[in-house]
């Protein structure tokens, strides 16, 4: 994350305390450009208010780290346990998700104070208790990765909130980048065979990234860059949004019910297609990767192009040999950038758009959720979702890795989802 | 309106400028206890955010008084014409009502500035232009009465917004009044005959209060006080909310669909029935008038009691002989008060609760809406609404008169609606 | 009712037994052209299947006349009490209205048998019990008028059922009438004053037609014929369905939500507007009265024309001096006919279309529902409905009188509702 | 299929003409116990009326086999192309699925005639044209398997139609079987490794059963019989329907939204749990396999039992070594039967209940839909569905094989879905 909202990047090799502070500070920095009014509204049931994200991530540390572990600690406000639980059934009743936007109090001042008091107590916990408690260190680690996820959610949610305002406000003013020049996509082949999939055990991973196991693949290839807006305009010009045979049955139904005729946030104007982004309302740049498309659209595009989407295993088999670092967006971006020059390897693998895969979100063989309430983190969502891989322009830098499994329903468009093609070989 | 939010009462006999300033100042005073977050949320489609009320009333003056009349005046922001039009079809497209709570910008600071700039221009207009323009003076007058209506809406809306918050916040802290002691209701008889109904032409009235015309009444009587919470508890104890034969067909359907078992804002607790009001969560006071009941409930109560509701003509025939003044709530109340001692006349006629009448909201014979967009003010709502008469605890003092016709759908409960009984004689 | 489905008109002066047999026979005759499949379907929640009408009218006699009154009588099937109760809360639980179309058994053969057995028992009752029991005779009388209402409902419901079938089937084949030639409408004036309204006590009337009482009217006039399809085409050509200022607020909302651009059952074809009727799909005849319009449309038309709708009292004041007989449709019609030549009196008052009035459906002063379950017949619907007067092309002949109050919600269009204009004088 | 509705089993080795006649005759035999009313109703959007199934299967032969192939053939009724297309976008517009129950005409007599005339033409086609046209023979073959699918749909749909009738009618009267005696389930182990999955190419298969490909499995075991109603009663007694941690997130939401507390068609009575089946309303038999459970319930049961569901690949790896024949239900059953005595192999693999697998419905590697409209048969449904394997009590005998992939949304319960457990080894 960079530019005007650029934050102290969380030092990946710092101490746990240093990393705690850095992650927590970034959340506040991301919220800083937003007014109290901006932070209160829920523009659709999937979206949560900014102030809810700020409070919920704090509640996570309070509930799973402080309570019962820091001697003498008492919850800041007993009502928060109900208001700021997201979906953990094992820690009690919770406020209904679609009503998060109805809660005007606590306001942003009280939530800033809540964060301050929990951070103070966490300082204490990290200094005095955590050193002898590896289980607790693991929960703090989980809490940090959880908060990084919510940093991304905060940005994609506020993008939606601002988009429903007829005055089209921006999250952040910055110069519009120069339009890029797209090149032809190339293909990177993989011989198939038995490959190992899942987290190796080094560094942090969510439970759904394991157990590591073997999968048998047939020979395949993936495109060496993402599908561009220019290619998407061709798809639209070919009447794809009005051609039922290109679509999954549910996809076609959704296209008609929702009246889709372009990616989300695109607007037809007298001067051609424009797009409303966090940083501006500007013409669609044909060189940029397309983003804010549903799985239905990604799948239809692949069919139209004569190719297909990769499975998540194919994607991972290719991605493990590509360094994350050079692939991440440079500081200052809140939207994907055009592909860098071709170099024989897949480009834009990490950090531009989440890439829809052909894989339904299912447990790996032998998967067992963690015991206790944090076991509800991932496993209970393993139905009717599609896996996305990679990372996107609003994903915090330290939160990207080749085994990471993101997932959304096939109809979702408000996250930063895009497309990479694949083919049999 | 009084107490903590007490305002400079609009001087009814002041100059138009004085009255303009007083009415406008009261709106800001009513909003003052509310945070930016409170002022942004729309808790159901019927409710509008506080900041919308503040902006819409300002838009009314800008659109109908300033535009085209004050030389050199230019609208503060062209987008506001779309955002803050409520329902006037003749002045252009408008933002959909159910989405008023999604608009985070302009925020309350920009809206305060909007009000300031319009007030400045209105000062100018009132001094330089209005004196020679009786038509314009009439529009300013209409705008003031319009703003008074929205003062009441602002309070009934924020009561709903705060009620959906699980932490039950208050609008205003103040001491709970002592519980009253209800007396027996008496009856005030009227001989019937031909009576004149509607506004006489002195002072301001909305178009729906005329033309004045004659109606033939049969002999009847009305109760000399409002139905109390104590009487409502008897109705509930008699299983009325589970007895279909007491209800209109639509009413019984609604009771079941909504799960009603008491007036709105009542909560069953271990210590009996409590009520969430603007000023506190406190036990139901048996001596206070019941409020926040629908027409369906008012009608069912009347049937249960062996009586009926008065027609709006009966109500007016009685009310014209009772002075408004002594009937108004003393300053400092935001909820109805127990009846004063009986004195042979109907008590609590003005200023405690709006009284549901048996009359559907229909035009008086010869009714013609005003020409132009302000003609949309009342006439186009004349179907599927019931008339209420009187005024309530959150109605501004100068906004109460015997011929005033308020109206709501039969199922509505969030306004301050209560019950007075009537009977044939 | 006539032509192919012409029935033995119920002899209005016959014995009760004769009239019972005639009414019951007409129901069966009306159902005769319909297949088992036709009689089973419920095309929207407002509609009931034909076989349900046949069973429910039978249940009425069984429940209110036979049970407990005919010695030894036992209900034909105990399940029918649940399946065929329409809305009588006092006689027990009932099958939900929107699910009437899901009940495949009993089928039409069992329902024919149900009717036969109840008719047999009723013969017995009429001969042996009723002569000494005027209360029972009154219930039989009520049952007959009830069945006549359902004869009309059966026809308007089946018109809707057949209309949703893309193959546009007919209820009854018959020659298309010659298009008529509309004349100019004239006006019939009334001086106003105190008029008596409501049933005089001679002959049968529903409880909602009384008590007879006095109403004060201002001078007015009513049009001497109904609004025609030709006039409606002008209204449409003037873009009325896209002009919000012509409409009540709820009406405009409904026009947009439903996509209305013409009366119900009208279809735009390459050869102009056609209409799907019980007897054919044919060009709209400009001379025929418009029918299948909502109250919203009737009200908008009146506004557009510079006039208004009559109140139900104005209508009745005029209608009492016009003989019903000559106004009824000749046998053989299932749709309204062009106006006969002008003769200085209002034409088409009875038997062509139900005429929307400006009056909300409210109880007359002093109204008391009948005691017991039959008291649920009318009173509990007295909110959010508009009164219609007259009678229509599918109303049985003996069921028409000047004091009859029909009522439907303002949005309803599937009954035979049309328009007569009125004006102040 | 057997007993009262027993049909001439389609001779699997007969000529195409013989098999055509046998399959077509079975459809008519299955419809025979149903009245015109039964065959018309659509009790929920997922359900189609019996007469629609009879017509749609006929339309399939008319559209894909007769049209353009049988010289001189003209469609029986041009309207049928619109009315009886299910979901084939490439052959034109179609009647909306949720409105299938509104079409009263054509009635069952006209549909019987439609079937007769198409069968006559097909006889011709099969004799004169098909012999030289292997492509056409393949389409006829597809049409027969398509009709067999609809035979099953017809029965599961009519079970739902009859279930919503408060009188609980039966499809077929027959003696209630003796309750069984459940034995302990055993486990059948599989060593894992690379297994071949998909159709081998011998005999008919749908396109989604291929291409045959290799999958890498870990060692596992499957239960040697289905989960029983007795085991399900224990699950219910352990409060499983009120324990959120047992459920997928969407599953828990659905349980609450739908008020589920047992499998579909179960009813709590004073004498314990009863079940409404095609052949009777009778006590739940603890020895019978549980059926009419959703994927959510199957998954929750597996979690509760400490095991898991098999993947579709594990299921197939085991099933290929088990003969279909001995596993099929004996004639005369319309519901699953208790497990036969254990014999060291998985029992009840085919023909009792469809077994929910842990696998989302996705294309096999290299999958390509057939060209033309019949390519819409399977592929376009490959998202948000779970695979079921086996076959059930209402599946026609010749329609069962180890590679068959059935699929339904996770919430569906009206098909005959049950549970077999699996475990890692």
Q: What are the DSSP calls for D81-133, one per residue?
A: HHHS--S-GGG-----GGGGGG---S-HHHHHHHHHHHHHHHHHHHHHTGGG-
- Residue C9 pLDDT > 50, yes or no? no
Same domain, C31 and C76: yes
Average pLDDT, integer, range B51-58: 98
Same domain, D232 and D300: yes
Same domain, A337 and A223: yes
Q: What percent of chain B has pLDDT over 90?
A: 82
Q: Is residue C175 part of a domain?
A: no
Q: Does B45 lie at the interface with A, CB-CB under 8 angstroms?
A: no
Q: Is residue C4 part of a domain?
A: no
A373 vs A76, more confident: A76
Average pLDDT, integer, range A309-332: 86
How far is it, in rounded angstroms, from Cα D146 to Cα D140? 10
Q: Does C358 lie at the interface with D, CB-CB under 8 angstroms?
A: no
**Residue B295 in contact with residue B410, Cβ under 8 Å?**
yes
Ranked by mean pLDDT, the top range of B358-372, C51-65, D334-348 is C51-65
Tell me the average pLDDT of chain A. Answer: 93
Q: Does A367 lie at the interface with D, CB-CB under 8 angstroms?
A: no
CA distances for D138 relative to A139, A224, D152, D205, angstroms:
60, 41, 22, 11
Would you call D35 and C107 a contact, using CB atoms and an 8 Å cutoff?
A: yes
**Residue C352 in contact with residue C418, Cβ under 8 Å?**
yes
Would you call D218 and A295 a contact, using CB atoms and an 8 Å cutoff?
A: no
Same domain, C332 and C414: yes
Q: In 10 A of CB A322, how many CB atoms?
A: 16
The shortest C-alpha distance from A378 to chain D (Å) reads: 10
**Residue C58 in contact with residue C28, Cβ under 8 Å?**
no
Tell me the average pLDDT of chain D. Answer: 93
Maximal CA-CA distance, chain A: 66
- Residue C318 pLDDT > 50, yes or no? yes
Average pLDDT, integer, range A395-410: 94
How far is it, in rounded angstroms, from Cα B25 to Cα D341? 87
3-state class of B351 per DSSP? coil
Same domain, B250 and B395: yes
Average pLDDT, integer, range A87-93: 88
Instruction: Please give the structure tokens belonging to residue B128.
Output: 């330089």
Question: Can you give the pLDDT at residue B4?
Answer: 34
Question: Can you give the pLDDT at residue A286?
Answer: 94
Same domain, C70 and C206: no
pLDDT tens string D23-36: 999 999 999 999 99
How far is it, in rounded angstroms, from Cα A396 to Cα A392? 9
- CA–centroid distance for C306 within its chain: 28
Nearest Cα neighbor of B298 from B382, B222, B354, B347 is B354
Average pLDDT, integer, range C385-401: 94
D289: CATH:
3.90.1580.10
Nearest Cα neighbor of D125 from D136, D116, D115, D114 is D136
Parallel, antiparallel, or unpaired: how do β-strands A354-360 and A280-283 relate? unpaired
Residues of C in contact with B360 (CB under 8 A): 360, 362, 383
Residues of C in contact with B409 (CB under 8 A): 384
Would you call B380 and C424 a contact, using CB atoms and an 8 Å cutoff?
A: no
How far is it, in rounded angstroms, from Cα A205 to Cα A402? 11
- Using 50, 70 and 90 to split pLDDT, how confident is the model at A176? low
From A409-423, B340-354, C316-330, C333-347, the region with the lowest mean pLDDT: C316-330
Nearest Cα neighbor of D293 from D275, D313, D272 is D275
State ipTM.
0.95
Question: Can you give the pLDDT at residue D3?
Answer: 30
| Backbone angle region of B196, left / alpha / beta, with phi > 0 → left and psi within -120 to 50 → alpha | beta
Same domain, D156 and D204: no
Would you call B161 and A35 a contact, using CB atoms and an 8 Å cutoff?
A: no
How far is it, in rounded angstroms, from Cα C225 to Cα C423? 14
Which parts of chain D register pLDDT below 70? Answer: 1-13, 176-177, 330-332
Q: DSSP string covering C44-102, please?
A: STT---HHHHHHHHHHHHIIIIITTTSTT---S-TTHHHHS--S-GGG-----GGGGGG
> What's the CA angle centered on B100, arms B94 and B106, to 5 degrees?
90
- Using 50, 70 and 90 to split pLDDT, how confident is the model at C1? very low
**Structural domain boundaries enclosing D32:** 16-163
Residues of D in contact with C45 (CB under 8 A): none
**Residue B292 in contact with residue B159, Cβ under 8 Å?**
no
**Residue C334 in contact with residue C393, Cβ under 8 Å?**
yes
Binding partners of C (≥3 Cβ pairs within 8 A): B, D
Helix orientation angle between C108-128 and C50-61, rounded to the nearest 10 degrees: 20
Question: Can you give the pLDDT at residue C18?
Answer: 96
Instruction: Please give the structure tokens belonging to residue D70.
Output: 């049988």
Q: Is residue D234 part of a domain?
A: yes
Q: Quick one: closest CA in D to C78, which residue? A: D167
pLDDT tens string C226-284: 999 999 999 999 999 999 999 999 999 999 999 999 999 999 999 999 999 999 899 99
A35: CATH:
1.20.120
The shortest C-alpha distance from C46 to chain D (Å) reads: 14
Residue ending a domain, among B163, B195, B217, is: B163
Task: State how many domains chain A has.
Answer: 2
Q: Is residue B179 part of a domain?
A: no
**Residue A361 in contact with residue A380, Cβ under 8 Å?**
no
Helix orientation angle between D108-128 and D16-31, rounded to the nearest 10 degrees: 170
Question: Can you give the pLDDT at residue C12?
Answer: 60
**Residue A97 in contact with residue A49, Cβ under 8 Å?**
no
Cβ-proximal residues to D6 (8 Å cutoff; 6+ apart), any chain = D331, D332
How far is it, in rounded angstroms, from Cα D53 to Cα D149? 10
How far is it, in rounded angstroms, from Cα B341 to Cα B346? 11
> What's the CA angle centered on A370, arms A368 and A372, to 5 degrees?
130
CB interface of B with A, residues 165-204, below 8 Å: 165-167, 169
Q: Compute and round to an integer the Cα radius of gyration of chain D.
A: 21
pTM listed for this prediction: 0.95
Question: Can you give the pLDDT at residue D127?
Answer: 97
- Residue C423 pLDDT > 90, yes or no? yes
Average pLDDT, integer, range B324-348: 82
Our CA dihedral for C195, C197, C202, C207, rounded to 10 degrees, sits at -170
Our CA dihedral for D65, D71, D74, D80, rounded to 10 degrees, sits at 10
How far is it, in rounded angstroms, from Cα A94 to Cα A84? 7
3-state class of D163 per DSSP? helix
Would you call B363 and C360 a contact, using CB atoms and an 8 Å cutoff?
A: no
Number of C-alpha atoms within 13 angstroms, CB side, residue D339? 27
Is chain D in touch with chain B: ≥3 Cβ pairs within 8 A? no
- Tally of residues, chain A: 425
From B357-366, C107-116, D83-92, the region with the lowest mean pLDDT: D83-92
C373 vs D131, more confident: D131
- Residue A241 pLDDT > 70, yes or no? yes
Q: Is residue A8 part of a domain?
A: no
**Residue A158 in contact with residue A38, Cβ under 8 Å?**
yes
Determine which helix (DSSP H) or strand (DSSP E) holds D359, and give its type and residue range.
strand D354-360
Q: Does C372 lie at the interface with B, CB-CB under 8 angstroms?
A: no
- Residue A325 pLDDT > 50, yes or no? yes
Considering Cα of C185, then C186, then C192, then C194, what sign does the dihedral take? negative
How far is it, in rounded angstroms, from Cα D425 to Cα D423? 6
**Residue A301 in contact with residue A235, Cβ under 8 Å?**
yes
Average pLDDT, integer, range B197-218: 95
Instruction: Please give the structure tokens belonging to residue D205.
Output: 């298969």
Average pLDDT, integer, range B224-241: 98
Q: Is residue D102 part of a domain?
A: yes
CA distances for A177 relative to A279, A284, B376, C285, D261, angstroms:
10, 12, 48, 64, 57
Is chain C in touch with chain D: ≥3 Cβ pairs within 8 A? yes
Same domain, D207 and D254: yes
- Residue C398 pLDDT > 50, yes or no? yes
**Residue B390 in contact with residue B350, Cβ under 8 Å?**
yes
Binding partners of A (≥3 Cβ pairs within 8 A): B, D
Question: Can you give the pLDDT at residue D330?
Answer: 64
Q: Is residue A170 part of a domain?
A: no
Instruction: Please give the structure tokens belonging to residue A238.
Output: 């070919």
CA distances for C19 relative to C131, C324, C398, D132, angstroms:
15, 20, 11, 71
- Using 50, 70 and 90 to split pLDDT, how confident is the model at C331? low
CA distances for D84 relative to A327, B60, D51, D53, angstroms:
53, 56, 10, 9
From A225-239, A276-290, C114-128, the region with the lowest mean pLDDT: A276-290
Determine which helix (DSSP H) or strand (DSSP E) holds B389, and give its type and residue range.
strand B386-389
Q: Is residue D174 part of a domain?
A: no
Mutate to test the interface with D, among A192, A303, A360 (most CBs of D within 10 A): A360
Residues of C in contact with D38 (CB under 8 A): 104-105, 107
> What's the CA angle centered on C104, arms C100 and C105, to 5 degrees?
110
- Residue C76 pLDDT > 80, yes or no? yes
Same domain, C258 and C354: yes
Q: Compute and round to an integer the Cα radius of gyration of chain A.
A: 21
Same domain, A214 and A147: no
Same domain, A120 and A192: no
Question: Can you give the pLDDT at residue C179?
Answer: 72
Same domain, D358 and D407: yes
Burial class (CB in 10 A: 0-12, 13-18, 19+), B128: exposed
Would you call D102 and C162 a contact, using CB atoms and an 8 Å cutoff?
A: no
| Gap between the terminal Cα atoms of chain B | 37
């Amino acid at each position: 994350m960079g530019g005007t909202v650029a934050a102290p990047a969380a030092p990946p090799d710092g101490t746990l305390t240093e990393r705690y502070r850095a992650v927590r500070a970034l959340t506040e920095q991301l919220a800083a450009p937003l007014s109290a009014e901006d932070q209160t509204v829920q523009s659709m049931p999937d979206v949560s208010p900014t102030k809810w994200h700020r409070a919920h991530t704090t509640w996570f540390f309070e509930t799973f780290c402080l309570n019962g572990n820091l001697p003498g600690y008492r919850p800041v406000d007993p009502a928060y346990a109900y208001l700021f639980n997201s979906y953990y059934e094992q820690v009690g009743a919770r406020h209904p998700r679609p009503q998060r936007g109805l809660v005007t109090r606590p306001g942003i001042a009280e939530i800033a104070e809540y964060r301050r008091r929990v951070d103070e107590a966490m300082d204490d916990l990290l200094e005095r208790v955590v050193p002898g408690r590896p289980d607790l260190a693991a929960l703090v680690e989980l809490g940090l990765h959880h908060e990084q996820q919510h940093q991304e959610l905060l940005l994609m949610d506020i993008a939606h909130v601002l988009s429903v305002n007829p005055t089209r406000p921006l999250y952040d003013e910055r110069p519009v980048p120069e339009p890029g020049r797209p090149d032809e996509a190339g293909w990177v082949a993989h011989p198939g065979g038995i490959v190992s999939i899942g987290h190796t055990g080094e560094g942090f991973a969510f439970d759904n990234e394991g157990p590591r196991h073997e999968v048998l693949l047939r020979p395949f290839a993936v495109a060496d860059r993402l599908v561009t807006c220019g290619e998407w305009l061709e798809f639209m010009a070919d009447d794809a949004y009005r051609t039922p045979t290109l679509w999954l049955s549910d996809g076609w139904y959704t296209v008609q019910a929702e009246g889709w005729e372009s990616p989300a946030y695109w607007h037809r104007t007298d001067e051609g297609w424009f797009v409303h982004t966090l940083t501006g309302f500007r013409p669609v740049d044909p060189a940029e990767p397309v983003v804010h498309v549903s799985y239905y659209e990604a799948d239809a595009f692949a069919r139209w192009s004569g190719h297909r989407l990769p499975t998540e295993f194919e994607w991972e088999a290719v991605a493990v040999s590509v360094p994350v670092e050079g692939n991440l967006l440079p500081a200052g971006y809140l939207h994907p950038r055009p592909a860098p020059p071709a170099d024989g390897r897949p480009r834009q693998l990490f950090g531009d758009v989440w890439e829809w895969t052909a894989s339904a979100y299912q447990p790996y063989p032998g998967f067992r959720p963690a015991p206790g309430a944090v076991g509800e983190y991932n496993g209970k969502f393993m139905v009717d979702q599609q896996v996305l891989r990679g990372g996107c322009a609003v994903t915090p830098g330290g939160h990207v890795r080749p085994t990471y499994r993101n997932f959304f329903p096939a109809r979702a468009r408000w996250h930063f989802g895009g497309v990479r093609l694949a083919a049999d070989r």
